[in-house]
Structure 1
């Protein structure tokens, strides 16, 4: 099977495939966000589970490793997985993410979380629409975003040891800008892929596309929360 992002052939029903793919992408992404939110709320409302997740480093880092493993499998082995398996792994990732992110309900008050979520939804929606309608090729821009992502990771690791509030603020602002850009680029990438994807492979494309946009949304939300979120003990 050809790579889902390969542009060596065009579907004769490109427009209808695009419409079908984008409906599936946003539908699966939305469901994954709901799964993550419900899982986070459930874990945060259970002191026993929360103490296990946050009070035991082995469990916490084990969950993070499991998340990375799921993303690697879905992204790196997509062509070898069935659509059903890839989609189930995506929702498993959403559950794991929900467990890990349950801590935000301890750190931030519920009002600021909701407020930041709506800001994120608005910004994400606007940039995703831009990625769909723009005629500009964002390939080169996307390459810069990927380089920026590596820089963001390095800066975040450095700040773990430096613990600079100024650097943390800069990282948060850069993170917001970066994932705003990635949202538009990933949307355009999915759109372009839909035009050249065999209709029989739209399920897998929708899953990997939903995963990409889900990650953009989650990270954009987390960086905005660091800026706008009110601490629960404030």
Structure 2
């Protein structure tokens, strides 16, 4: 019979339980930080986009060659963060993330000139609901989603090629297909990236890279959200 009164009999389970509880608490704190950075970034981008679209400089800038600077600037920040994060201080990574969200806001300000405000709001909340559901499923599912990673990334590459081609063909049918595929791809990436971020915590917890990992994970989810919103807007958005 087990000696239930012997404190040594419960030492291992109690220690293991405490360790598991600490790990779960750490994971929750880590994911909450990721979501806070991501949501704050989306909010900041939205404020910048709306504010700039209402300024007297919006139309002159967004109809001039400067629009390409606005469009490509966020990509520069993404490359800088992706390839330089290992050498950067955590404070630098955070500063570049906030600068990126501002640049994205300026880049996306044109949607307020193209689509009506109510349709933008409707699409935003629809995207938010879908994002929360997909991210929650990616966080809680026991299914390993890593096998979908290569397929989804290849799909995004193919989507970019199709978008470049359609700049020349200007095909409405192709544009519709691109938007539909884009929504599906970034919906899948939301769940996949959430599970990957969750797994990453166990590799970075307690290391100097943990703070950077939070910001980079937020950047990943931010891009999933914004891309899903942009493609969905082409379906739900009412043009002015």
TM-score (norm 1): 0.90
Q: Which has the larger radius of gyration?
A: 2
Distance between the aligned counterparts of 1:135 and 1:228, measured in 2? Answer: 33
Distance between the aligned counterparts of 2:26 and 2:82, measured in 1? Answer: 21
**Can you give the 5+ residue segments of structure 1 that lack an aligned partner in the other structure?**
1-10
Q: 2:161 aligns with which of 145, 149, 154?
A: 154
Q: Does 1:85 align with 2:92?
A: yes
Q: Which residue of 2 aligns with 1:185?
A: 192
Q: Does 1:117 align with 2:101?
A: no
Q: Which residue of 2 aligns with 1:166?
A: 173
Q: 1:96 aligns with which of 103, 113, 128?
A: 103
Runs of 4+, deviation exceeding 4 Å: none
Q: 1:51 aligns with which of 51, 55, 59?
A: 59
- Indicate the larger mover: 68-77 or 28-37: 68-77
Q: Does 1:207 align with 2:238?
A: no
Distance between the aligned counterparts of 1:76 and 1:140, measured in 2? Answer: 24
Higher relative contact order (CA 8 A, sep 6+): 1
Q: Which residue of 2 aligns with 1:22?
A: 31
**Can you give the 5+ residue segments of structure 2 that lack an aligned partner in the other structure?**
1-18
Distance between the aligned counterparts of 1:181 and 1:53, measured in 2? Answer: 35
User: What whole-Å deviation, never above 9, does each CA across 1:72-112 have from its counterpart, x for those lacking one?
Assistant: 11111111111111011011111011111111001000000
Distance between the aligned counterparts of 2:87 and 2:29, measured in 1? Answer: 22
Which secondary structure state, in structure 2, belongs to the residue aligned with residue 80 of structure 1?
Answer: coil
Q: 1:230 aligns with which of 206, 220, 238?
A: 238
Distance between the aligned counterparts of 2:53 and 2:73, measured in 1? Answer: 20
Which secondary structure state, in structure 2, belongs to the residue aligned with residue 199 of structure 1?
Answer: coil
TM-score (norm 2): 0.88
CA drift of 1:17 comes to: 2.6
Q: Which residue of 2 aligns with 1:37?
A: 46
Q: Does 1:131 align with 2:138?
A: yes
Alignment RMSD (CA, Å): 1.4
Would you say how many aligned residue pairs link Structure 1 and Structure 2?
220
Distance between the aligned counterparts of 1:64 and 1:24, measured in 2? Answer: 28
Distance between the aligned counterparts of 1:172 and 1:16, measured in 2? Answer: 39
CA contact (8 A) 1:53 1:100 kept: no
CA drift of 1:167 comes to: 0.7
Distance between the aligned counterparts of 1:33 and 1:199, measured in 2? Answer: 28
CA contact (8 A) 1:15 1:195 kept: no
Distance between the aligned counterparts of 1:32 and 1:52, measured in 2? Answer: 26
